[in-house]
Structure 1
Amino acid sequence: MSRRLPACDPCRSSKLSCDHTKPVCQRCAHRRIADQCSYRDRPFKKRALRTLSQRTFDTPQSAGPPNPHVFAPSTPSTGTPRQPRRYPNPGYLGTSSHTTFFDHFSENDWNHSRSASRDEVDHGLNAVSAAVSIDRLEQGAKLIVQVLDAANLEAWRSLVEAWVASGINLPVAEPFTVSCARAACSSIALRDNNTLKSLEGLAATTRASRALFTESCRPLRVAATDTIETFCQLFCRKVARWETLGLFFTSVSRATIDITQFEGIYTSEQERRAVRKLAMQFADTCLDISISLDCLNDLQLILQYENFILHSLVDGDQSYHSWRRLGDVVSSLFALGYHEQLGDPSTTAPFLRELRFVAFSRTYSADKNCSIFLGRPPRMLKSYCPTANLPDTWALDEVFTYRADTRVHHLCASLKEDVLNLHKEPHEVRLQRANHIRNAVATQWSEIPAKLRLDKPLCEYDRPHVEIDFLASAKLNFAHVRFLLELTITPRVSSPSSELLRTSADMLSLVVEAIVLKERLANSGTSLVWKVAYYGLAAAGVLCLALLYNTLDRAALHTTPSKVIRDLSVLVAEIEMGALLHPEDPNYALLSGAAYAIKNLLDRTIANRFANHVDAQVLPEATALSPGRCSDVELNDWSTHGLDFDPAFWLNLSEHPLLLTPEGEAG
């Protein structure tokens, strides 16, 4: 590639070709203006222009009054370009985009000049982005007024701190949840709320809105040696950003889900739901404002993910709002390029690469789970996301953290994508690849530290509630992979294999155990309702079909009809009594409909089973196979004994001929 050389000032101003000869070019010599031939010291550096504030407000009197519809933040007076970006905030454009080719021009010839002015140019671009219309500035001020009028910020901050102290947190924004709460309260709180509607109060909210817009347009610059504390200071200083407020309101709404009562904010279920909806509305507005500024960054990506999770918990996973917001998170990930690279290791701080990987892994897992739950195609595929294949190993002294929970979600999401791809293969290839996936599931599960694997009943663990919840979630996630795998290679669901029945029974049993012990579980990353709707109903569906077609005898000995019926009955009872969720909850229609179907199936199955036994004259056969255990007199005595349900009733019930197990079938 030819090297780019600067032209002398006379040739450049006359737009004539210059031969770049120094000290005098040939054209200037022929034109007899050798004394005017000179070269600039930094020919490719843009001139320092006036700041946006000077152009907007410091105009000469002859130019007329300033434009009242443009808000200009206070920025340094150097490095502001004259025109805004032609392609605002394009983000990552891949290895074959137009910008990649044009970047080659600067690598050898004027890379030094470009790097020297990069900070000034970038700052200028963000200064132009900060030019916000007066309507949007008023929108921010109006939001602040609504927050101060409807919320007790200090009480909300205390709620978030109590929620985090219980061990629960936002999965991605975990390192700075509390810092965002404190910064948000200090940024928009007024000294005297009584003057909120006065001129002084309105001016104060306008200044707060202006400061939030100014900070939100600043780039989040992190050096390779910076820490997570340094990064947190960029948006949790005295002046916060709109993303900071969004994370605070998101954490408030999430805290109301796990804390049933909090003095000073809500004491009833109706008040708790009102606070949850209000905080979510504030979080949505903050996110919309941040996106409208067209300054996509890591903090905005985190807010988008946490906002999606909040909507999935409040609106339901089948809600269009949740599905659309998940798509927004995926789009931002692609725009930032984190599906292909997490930043140059030599220039990107390790904590920032880790934070980006956590955001990617969580989104990648949510994409798979929602696609399977809703029956829609996934939007993130490993073939287009090299980040999904990055190695991630367990530490020897691994303990529960949200990072460990993210690792489990990422591993299972990758395996679930492999299972989904089996649908495209012929039956023989499908069976062969299914064996590889089955071995991979066993290997991944065995590599998890024993301390983080569930290998005994939940009631036997003496750990914090959030850790017990994580143990159940991790095992359910891996069991769901095996469930999907066996379901994929099963020709007919009405004729399930023994492995599918065992996996379904294990999933349902663990879900029921979590329901019964829900007071000992906390939301470690997946709520209890999600466990029931996503894992429990899938397993219950297979088992209900097995009961309907009488194929449970193919399962292992521990998967007996009585155990399955017991678990299904507990599931139905918890839903119908309202112990699991209320009619106002988003997933109530789904779970109540499933409970109604399961209940009808259990009624018909049990009634038909006993009716068939009576019609086939099982009573004499059972008595004959168990001599000496039940005579006609004893049978008559049983039918009239223990009607007050005293202990003798249950002892005699076990001797009923219909419940006797022939000696040939025992064991």
Structure 2
Amino acid sequence: MLRRPACEPCRKSKLACDHGLPVCSRCSTSGAICIYRTTPFKRKRVGSPAKSGLHSRDSSPSLGARRPPYPNPGFLGSSSHAAIFKHITPDGDHGSTAHASDLAWSATQPQVAGDNHLMSQGADILKQLLTSYSLAAMKDLVMFWLLKGANLALAEPFVAQCAKSVSHLFTTQDENWNLVYARHLFQNTAQPLVFDADSDIHSFSAQFLAHNSRWETIAIFFAAVSRATIDTSFFPSLYATEEEQYPLRRLAMKLCDFALEISLSLDCLNDLQLIVQYENFIVHSYVDGDQSYHAWRKLGDVISSTFALGYHENLETKPGIPPFLIELRKTAFARIYSADKNIAIFLGRPPRMNKRFCHFQIPSCRTIIDDSTETHHDVNHWEPDSQAGYRADTRWSALCAFLKEEIWELLQDKHHASCSQRARLLLLHSLTEPDMAIIETAGQMLALVVEIILLRDQLTNSGTGLIWKVAHYGLPAAGIILLSMLNPRTMSQTGSSRTKTLQGLSVFVAEVQIGTIVRPGDPNYALLSKATQTIQRFLDSFHAEPTPHQQHQKQYQHPPPRDVAPHHDEASDDWAAFLEQDTWDFEAGFWQSLADHPSLLALDPDVPSL
């Protein structure tokens, strides 16, 4: 009689197993993850401990796997080689339908050594994390975070389900349990996500939950864990201090990284992987900082995947796509498009998603679950019953990003004859001499940023945290205001508005200096502290008695007599020329050069520049 192995949950519980595949009856009832060991009856060989390492044949289960016979081409446009040959052989395969069959054909093919090593590393990080922190406590942290109204902006519909699935996933932790589960997750990850025009979000998500959990499921959960530690300063079952909080945040991000890389190693992009790529980029922007190269590279990766999947095309023209998935893909496009413009402007670098090569599309304000079969939404129409939420934020930020790209293009062509005819906004001819329209807008932006700083405890994370909003909106606004006040020709504000602006700047500086929104060691601390030091010097100079240098400058605030040549301040001209090197770069270089303004140096000539 053939001896049949029991699954791991039944074996550990010492209960009878009916050996059902893929899930036994007991695990199906209890909800446990049903896993069968690769070599259940093989006895351990007694030998040297040195031979029982991670890659020992006797001790570690096979991470065996599958690899498509050739790379998955993804989306291939009208100018591609596939489109050309399609006209030659109309019945031939042009690359977009071969993915599922390639995956099935290669189910028995050996995995390359590089992928095997990658999965072994992921298994090690998984073991390190789960032996250091309670999985149940991490699940409780995520659920507590969700109850506060926060969520992952793109993975929002799946976070709670992924958290529950992962919390029931690792039922056994005997020797090499991490490798056993790594193989199980990988085998699930290699399965294509199937759907048709009648599929709903529940049948779609069932393919990566519970028994079907994949590495992407792990990635979404631990992205949520990392993000939850940022918004939850005290969770005693996991951490009580910042020193205990930070290692969990980094380790969760690291496991999210490996889970994503393992998924991408299969070279079979899908909707779930794109979601994970976006959320992984957001986690890196939080943990590494908005000016970090890691975050910049992660954003480039998710943009590349967007184009590879063809989500820059008109999604409503694709046949066989269910309405909820069209909305999910529109949401992904909108958030990635918006992130590209925000980061490009913040860092002063070229955007990487050009609207000329994209079909601009944004989701409706309804939740994905509530979406009807009607998916044709006017991008400029705002539904009157829309409520504040991640979908509404996605629509609004994408619409703003569209305008930002148009303004960006105008800036590049501002010396062209047709530029003034295309402009809808006042052109900023010189950064050192901003126009009143720009100054008034900056004042409104600063007031909003100060308001959210003061109300931070009553706000819910909208996908981009408070520090992101301060850095991306507060710093540019404060910079424009300082430039206007340092230039006598633009200091035409009324007394009340000037007083309000100075109060806003004072609150902004105080909140940063006392450490309520950013602290030493945080990724954006260096940028914010440098900026606030410059603002503080400006405030000190504004309230201080005028120095001889400032008295000299005041003599020439009004036009001099006709027979007197205008005063020429070489120091100011040198500073202005240096600042004009990059109009939109509000990073550290902007604040460093602003700190060298002659008016601020005149306050205390002995104070070195930042």
Structure 1 and Structure 2 fold alike (TM over 0.5): yes
Q: Does 1:536 align with 2:519?
A: no
Contact 2:68 2:267 in 1 (8 A): no
1:94 aligns with 77
Contact 1:126 1:217 (C-alpha < 8 Å) held by counterparts: no
Distance 1:269 1:533 in 2: 22
Residue among 337, 340, 354 paired with 1:364: 337
In structure 2, relative to structure 1, the CA distance for the partners of 1:302 and 1:120 (3 Å cut) is: closer
CA 1:490–1:122 in structure 2 vs 1: closer, same or farther (change >3 Å)?
same
Whichever residue aligns with residue 517 of structure 1, its letter is: L
The residue that corresponds to 1:554 in the other structure is 492
Q: Judging changes above 3 Å, is the alpha-carbon distance between structure 1 residues 559 and 334 closer, same or farther for their aligned structure 2 residues? A: farther
Structure 2 Cα separation of the partners of residues 408 and 599 of structure 1: 34
Contact 2:61/2:179, CA 8 A, preserved across alignment: no
Change (3 A) 1:316 1:126: farther
Counterpart of 2:171 (choices 190, 195, 204) is 190
Change beyond 3 A, Cα 1:507–1:84: closer
Please report how far the alpha carbon of residue 362 of structure 1 lies from its aligned counterpart in structure 2 after TM superposition: 0.6
Instruction: Answer yes or no: is 1:333 the counterpart of 2:321.
Output: no
Alignment partner, residue 429 of structure 2:
491
Correspondence for 2:250 among 264, 277, 283: 277
- Corresponding residue of 1:205: 178
Structure with the larger helix share: 1
Give unpaired runs (5+ residues) of structure 1.
Answer: 1-65, 76-82, 439-485, 616-667
Measured in 1, the distance between the counterparts of 2:462 and 2:203 equals: 27
Shift of 1:613: 12
| Cα-to-partner distance string for 1:362-411 (whole Å, 9 max, x where unaligned) | 11111101110001000000111124598423223111221111001110
What is the rounded CA distance, in whole Å, between the counterparts of 2:323 and 2:204 in structure 1?
Answer: 12
What secondary structure does 2:291 align onto?
Answer: coil
- Secondary structure of 1:234's partner? helix
Distance 1:558 1:297 in 2: 57
Deviation at 1:508, TM superposition (A): 0.9
Deviation at 1:579, TM superposition (A): 1.4
Q: What SS does the corresponding residue of 1:523 show, helix, strand or coil? A: coil
By how many angstroms is 1:431 displaced?
2.9
Compared CA separation, residues 433 and 538, structure 1 to 2 (3 A): same
| Residue correspondence of structure 1 range 52-201 to structure 2 within 5 A | 72=64, 84-86=68-70, 88-104=71-87, 107=90, 121-125=101-105, 127=107, 131=111, 133=113, 134-187=116-169, 189-191=170-172, 193=173, 196=174, 201=175
Using structure 1 for the length normalisation, give the TM-score.
0.66
- In structure 1, the partner of 2:386 is 398
Alignment of 1:461-540 (within 5 A): 486=426, 489-540=427-478
Partner letter of residue 314 of structure 1?
V
The offset of 1:612, in angstroms, is 11
User: Deviation at 1:265?
Assistant: 0.7
- C-alpha distance in 1, partners of 2:275/2:550? 60
1:528-575 Cα shifts (integer Å, max 9, x gaps)? 1112111111111111122222345434x4863222211111111111
Counterparts in 2 of 1:126 and 1:373: CA distance versus 1, 3 Å: farther
Partner residue in 2 for 1:433: 422
1:552–1:579 Cα change, 3 Å: farther
CA pair 579-106 structure 1, distance change in 2 beyond 3 A: same
Shift of 1:433: 1.8
Write the distance in 1 (CA, Å) between the matches of 2:110 and 2:185. 10
Paired amino acid for 1:362:
R
Deviations 1:106-153 (A, max 9, x none): 65x689xx99x9797344245267746454553444333223212211
Deviation per CA, 1:65-86: give whole Å up to 9, x if none.
x9x998546x9xxxxxxx9533
Q: Say whether the 8 Å CA contact 1:211–1:239 is kept in structure 2.
A: no
Q: Is the Cα contact below 8 Å between 1:130 and 1:214 reproduced in 2?
A: no
| Matched residues, number | 477
C-alpha displacement of 1:576: 1.0
Q: Among the aligned pairs, what percent are the same residue?
A: 44
Aligned partners of 2:288 and 2:294 also within 8 Å:
yes
From the superposition, tell whether residues 120 and 394 of structure 1 become closer, same or farther in structure 2 (CA, over 3 Å).
closer
1:256-335 matches, cutoff 5 A? 256-335=229-308
Return the alpha-carbon distance in structure 2 between the equivalents of residues 209 and 434 of structure 1. Answer: 55
Conserved 8 A contact 1:511-1:532: yes
Is 1:238 paired with 2:220? Answer: no
Give yes or no for contact 2:166–2:210 (8 Å, CA) kept in 1.
no
CA gap 1:546/1:84 in 2 versus in 1, 3 angstroms: closer
Mapped pair 1:585 → 2:522: yes
Q: Distance in 2 between matches of 1:548 and 1:177?
A: 49
8 Å contact kept, 1:553–1:560: no
What CA distance in whole angstroms lies between the structure 2 residues aligned with 1:608 and 1:228?
A: 66
Alpha-carbon distance change, 343 to 184 in structure 1, aligned in 2, over 3 angstroms: farther
Q: Secondary structure at the match of 2:529?
A: helix
State the 1:611 CA deviation: 9.0
Unaligned runs of 5+ in 2: 1-56, 363-376, 553-610
In structure 2, what is the Cα distance between the partners aligned to 1:252 and 1:130? 34
Residue of 324, 327, 341 corresponding to 1:354: 327
2:359 aligned to which of 369, 374, 386: 386
Match of 1:478 in 2: none
TM-score, length-scaled by structure 2: 0.72
In 1, Cα distance between the equivalents of 2:499 and 2:257?
48
Greater Cα offset, 122-131 or 514-523: 122-131
Distance of aligned partners of 1:90 and 1:157 in 2 relative to their CA distance in 1, 3 Å threshold: same
